């Protein structure tokens, strides 16, 4: 389960994984790398694949889960179930030639296709050592939808990939102590 930093942790995991995959891309423009960006300013002077988190949504299929109870030997507590998040990323190549940009897009597609579910030791930060899994899905957007995203960030449209990462669990802070029943008394009304 993830604490409040889980969104940042997922973004860092993606950037690290893409940077490792891009290292062996021998391009004439230098070694490409992945960078976390809000696309306010495109990376200058480097060949880069930007990772832009543009939307966070709650996963509707994970609503109404039961509360999570603690396991002994901890005191008995119950916690509101974690909020299941969907993170939507725009992956965009910058710098270098068109061929280099297309190679970076191709490598990103390979990374997310060949290993679409990341678990265990692939996860770091607050997700390290958990049973959580990140599932990556290439989400098709119409040209109009992509244009709206680029219009919203006030940049001209560029070739990009849209990936959805599910389910990222964000732990709740709502914890309640459970009281154990120690004894009971049954009283009844007299029979007439």
The pLDDT tens digits for 115-151 are 999 998 888 888 888 888 999 999 988 888 888 888 8
DSSP for 37-72, written as a single string? --SSS---SS-EEEEEEEEEEE-GGGTTPPPEEPPT
Residue 49: what pLDDT?
94
pLDDT reading at 74 higher than 80: no
Residue 180: what pLDDT?
66
pLDDT reading at 35 higher than 80: yes
**Average pLDDT in the 164-184 region?**
74
Whether the Cβ atoms of residue 93 and residue 104 lie closer than 8 Å to each other: yes
> How many residues would you count in the chain?
192
Residue 114: what pLDDT?
94
pLDDT reading at 64 higher than 80: no
Residue 9: what pLDDT?
92
Angle between helices 98-114 and 6-22 (to 10 degrees): 120
Q: Domains in the chain, start-ordered, CATH in brackets? A: 6-175 (3.30.2000)
The confidence band for 172, taking pLDDT boundaries of 50, 70 and 90, is: low
**Average pLDDT in the 162-174 region?**
82
Q: Which of 11-20, 26-35, 55-64, 163-172 has the lowest mean pLDDT?
A: 26-35
């Amino acid at each position: 389960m993830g604490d409040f930093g889980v969104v940042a942790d997922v973004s860092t995991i993606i950037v690290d994984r893409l940077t490792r995959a891009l290292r062996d891309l021998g391009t004439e423009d230098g070694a490409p790398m992945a960078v976390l960006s809000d696309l306010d300013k495109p990376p200058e002077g480097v060949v880069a694949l930007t990772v832009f988190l543009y939307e966070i949504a709650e996963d509707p299929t994970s609503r109404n889960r039961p509360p999570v109870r603690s396991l002994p030997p901890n005191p008995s507590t119950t916690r509101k179930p974690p909020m299941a998040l969907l993170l939507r990323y725009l992956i965009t190549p910058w710098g270098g030639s068109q061929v280099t940009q297309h190679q970076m897009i191709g490598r990103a597609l390979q990374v997310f296709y060949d290993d679409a579910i990341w678990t265990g030791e692939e996860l770091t930060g607050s997700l390290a050592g958990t049973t959580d899994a990140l599932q990556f899905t290439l989400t098709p957007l119409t040209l109009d939808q992509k244009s709206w995203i680029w219009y919203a960030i006030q940049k001209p449209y560029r070739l990009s990939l849209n990936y959805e990462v599910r389910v990222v669990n964000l732990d709740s802070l709502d914890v309640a102590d459970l009281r154990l029943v120690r004894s009971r008394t049954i009283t009844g009304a007299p029979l007439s």
